[in-house]
Chains A and B, each alone.
Chain A
Amino acid sequence: MSAVVVEARGLGRDYRVGGGLLREGRVVHALAEASFSVEAGRTLAVVGESGCGKSTLARLVTMIEEPTSGRLEIDGIEARPQSWAKLRSRVQIVFQDPYGSLNPRQRVGAILAEPLVVNRRGGAGERAARVAALMDLVGLRPEHRERYPHMFSGGQRQRIAIARALVLEPRLLVLDEPVSALDVSIRSQILNLLIELQERLGLAYLFISHDLSVVRHVADAVMVMYLGRTVEAGPKEELFRRPRHPYSKALLSATPVADPRARPERIRLEGELPSPLAVPPGCPFAPRCWKVRAVCREVRPALEGDAHRVACHFPEEG
């Protein structure tokens, strides 16, 4: 049993929108009751569409924002704003957009050395050595050190971003759609790199993605989110083979399959994605669910089960 790197219990985050000096704003429940844990060397995938709260989750786990409810523990230490500075080096992030995640005015060497400079780790010589080691680890050449980000392709920039995330020797990497913005042929290069790094360094991954084929390939466990809540969570193979929540089923069936002979039973969801400003009472998925009944609209289902949990009054049987 590997060590648990990150554990979250009932994490929630509310935002106040539209308030002013004289007016009370409305409350947006961007994330509610998220509970999960990730062990070293394992990958938890978070799956969902716009408004599901996965970006908020990323911001909470990387300690950029404080949760309004719940508890987050990193390496067993509770993450409160007072302990953030100490815990920063253990959680790092790789973003989706390789074109926006690197400072256009900094050379690669400076970008990679920055976390060390900011945390006052080591002298100039040690920093240079670490930067060189990381560049080699992710497949960059030494001469790339003096170049600016715009001189690199999307895949290379993502490698630089991954190297930067590894500088402080983190235990957990939050990967926010790391390959969605890359071409297919580059995607597999970066996925392979991530898999190798995980094996070599024993990293835990929180892998956020909407691309189910990528998730199926890299994840060990999957969490499906809808409108800020977890609707299903469990081991990967289980969830993909026997999805129990109607939304998971719809998501899987909506993903195009690269096989012209396959004619899947397409579940066509009616209606639009909901807005987190207007969360309906009861089950958040009720307005779009094809098996909705009265109880679904009134009582919110709780996340139940042990290894394979689902939040539904009438879950699918596999």
Chain B
Amino acid sequence: MTTAPMPTATVRRPSPLAEFWHYFRENRGAVTGLWVFAAFVLLALGADLVAPFDPAEQFREHALRPPAWAEGGLWTFPLGTDPLGRDMLSRLVHGARYSFFVGIVVVVLAASTGIVIGLLAGFAPTWLDTLIMRLMDVILAFPSLLLALVLVAILGPSLTNAMIAIAIVLQPHYVRLTRASVLAERSRDYVTAARVAGAGPVRLMFVTVLPNCLAPIIVQAALSFSTAILDAAALGFLGMGAQPPAPEWGTMLAEAREFILRAWWVVTFPGLAILVTVLAINLMGDGLRDALDPKLKRS
């Protein structure tokens, strides 16, 4: 047996994060989405610092000012003002905070309950599994907005209730995803090995199997974020979500309905904000899925 040291050409194996970034980076849309989303998060977190004015502050003399570059605009209000004289830019920036808040809460709520129910369904005996999945099918059969409306109508219109409603509606997706992963992983050898070692069902569910089901859940979480923002905006538009004077983008749209022709900027900018954010998140989610899917990996 040779004992002398071997001259080798060593190449460091990349860390899992570096490998993930390598695949993610190739999708230019996804990277753009990531930067936009990062900007959105920064704005949401630093809204107080970035916004020039308080979003509720009204400047009656400057009501309905057009954006700065248009005729009659002022650079103090770069994106113009709304009918009550509130600065559009500040409202939009604070609206990011609302949307971000909504996205996070909804996703966390939907994902945590969905994952637990999905784990239960995956490990449960057939009759319980069937019961759970039929219940989820019923929830999915409702148009999400309709269900949210009903819930909000019962519980009362407010952003909190809107978030609960959206979370309930989004939750079956997580149940399905988790259950599918659990069913696939449950028959793998390492789970059997844990059983042979004496692991009980709770440990099997949360410690053994769950960490291996996370990839599709992460992707779904990213895409749910955008769905949550859209749904919250829709509810806000219908007057069932955040109530005025909250600068939530959907609520802003509702208030601006009558000004579509007269003052286009009051309607367009919140709409654009929603569009750009949702698009960015969807692009990023697509890229995440491609990068996390082991079948698409090449090395």
Contacts and interface: CB of A to CB of B under 8 A. Distances in A.
A95 B198 contact: no
Given A118-B203, A151-B13, A95 B197 contact: no
Nearest to B188: A100
A153 interface: no
From A92, A103, A119, A167, name the one whose CB has the most chain B CB atoms within 10 angstroms: A103
A118 B197 contact: yes
Contact of B196 (A92, A96, A97, A100): A92
Nearest to B213: A105
Chain B CB within 10 A, most for which of A63, A106, A151: A106
Nearest to A168: B197
A174 to B, nearest CB: 9
Nearest to B210: A105
Q: Is the interface of B mostly helix, strand, loop or mixed?
A: helix
A243 B22 CA distance: 58
Given A85-B198, A88-B198, A118-B203, A95 B193 contact: yes
A102 B189 CA distance: 7
A17 interface: no
A97 B13 contact: no
Contacts of A159: none
B212 interface: yes
B5 interface: no
B190 A103 contact: yes
A181 to B, nearest CB: 11
Determine chain A's interface SS by DSSP, over half rule: loop
Contacts of A104: 190, 212
A104 B188 CA distance: 11
A85 B192 CA distance: 15
A309 to B, nearest CB: 30
Contact of B197 (A96, A105, A119): A119
B189 A101 contact: yes
A95 B212 contact: no
Interface residues of A, number: 28
B189 A115 contact: no
A93 B190 CA distance: 11
B134 interface: no
Contacts of A92: 196-197
Measured as residues with beta carbon below 8 angstroms from the partner, the interface class of chain B is 10 to 19
A103 B203 CA distance: 13
Given A103-B208, A105-B212, A118-B203, A88 B193 contact: no
Contacts of B188: 100
A101 B212 CA distance: 13
Most buried by B among A85, A101, A118, A167: A118
Contacts of A64: 192, 195-196
Nearest to A101: B189
A164 B193 contact: yes
Nearest to A85: B198
B211 interface: yes
A134 to B, nearest CB: 14
Interface in B188-221: 188-190, 192-200, 203, 208, 211-212
Given A100-B188, A103-B190, A105-B212, A93 B199 contact: no
Contact of A118 (B190, B199, B211): B199
A130 to B, nearest CB: 14
Nearest to A95: B189
Nearest to B13: A151
Interface in A83-101: 85, 88-89, 91-93, 95-97, 100-101
Given A118-B203, A151-B13, A102 B198 contact: no
Interface string A107-120: 00000001100110
Interface string B177-197: 000000000001110111111
A105 B181 CA distance: 15
A97 B189 contact: yes
B198 A118 contact: yes
Nearest to A104: B212
A89 B211 CA distance: 26
B189 A62 contact: no
23 contacts: A63-B196, A64-B195, A64-B196, A88-B196, A88-B197, A95-B189, A96-B189, A101-B189, A101-B190, A102-B190, A103-B194, A103-B211, A103-B212, A104-B190, A104-B212, A105-B212, A114-B199, A115-B197, A118-B197, A118-B203, A151-B13, A161-B193, A167-B197
Interface of A: 62-64, 85, 88-89, 91-93, 95-97, 100-106, 114-115, 118-119, 151, 161, 164, 167-168
